[in-house]
Amino acid sequence: MTTRLGPTSRIRITELSGSTARQRRDDLATEEPLEIRLTAADGTRKTVAITMRTPGHDFELAAGFLHGEGLVGPGGIAAIAYCVDEDVPPEARYNTVTVRLHGPIPDLPALDRHFLTSSACGVCGSAGLEVLHDRCEPVPRGPLKLTPEFLYALPDRLRKAQGGFGKTGGLHAAGLFSAAGELVALREDVGRHNAVDKLAGWAALSERLPLAEHVLMVSGRTSYEIMQKALAAGIPVVCAVSAPSSLAVDLAREFGMTLVGFLRGERCNIYAGAERIVVE
Residue 207 annotated as lining a ligand binding site: no
Asked if pLDDT for residue 185 goes beyond 70, the answer is yes
Q: How far is CA 187 from the centre of its chain?
A: 8
Report the C-alpha gap between 83 and 67 in whole angstroms: 20
Report the C-alpha gap between 62 and 110 in whole angstroms: 16
All domains in the chain, ordered by first residue: 32-122 (3.10.20.10), 148-276 (3.40.140.10)
Residue 65 annotated as lining a ligand binding site: no
Q: What is the mean pLDDT of residues 228-249?
A: 93
Report the C-alpha gap between 274 and 255 in whole angstroms: 13
Residue 263 annotated as lining a ligand binding site: yes
Report the C-alpha gap between 16 and 22 in whole angstroms: 7
Active site residue 83: no
The pLDDT of residue 124 is 38
pTM for this entry: 0.85
Q: What is the signed CA dihedral for 217, 138, 38, 226, rounded to 10 degrees?
A: -30
The pLDDT of residue 134 is 78
Asked if pLDDT for residue 121 goes beyond 70, the answer is no
Neighbours of 111 (CB within 10 A): 17
Residue 31 annotated as lining a ligand binding site: no
Residue 32 annotated as lining a ligand binding site: no
The closest of 280, 235, 276, 225 to 255, measured between CA atoms, is 235
Q: Exactly one of 83, 121, 124, 268 is catalytic; which is it?
A: 121
Q: Which of 54-58, 133-137, 141-145, 153-157 comes out lowest in average pLDDT?
A: 133-137
Task: Give me the chain's average pLDDT, please.
Answer: 85
H-run or E-run covering 176: strand 172-178
Q: Find out whether 269 and 249 touch, Cβ atoms under 8 Å.
A: no
- Cβ-proximal residues to 143 (8 Å cutoff; 6+ apart), any chain: none
Residue 135 annotated as lining a ligand binding site: no
Q: What is the mean pLDDT of residues 162-186?
A: 85
The closest of 166, 178, 221 to 203, measured between CA atoms, is 178
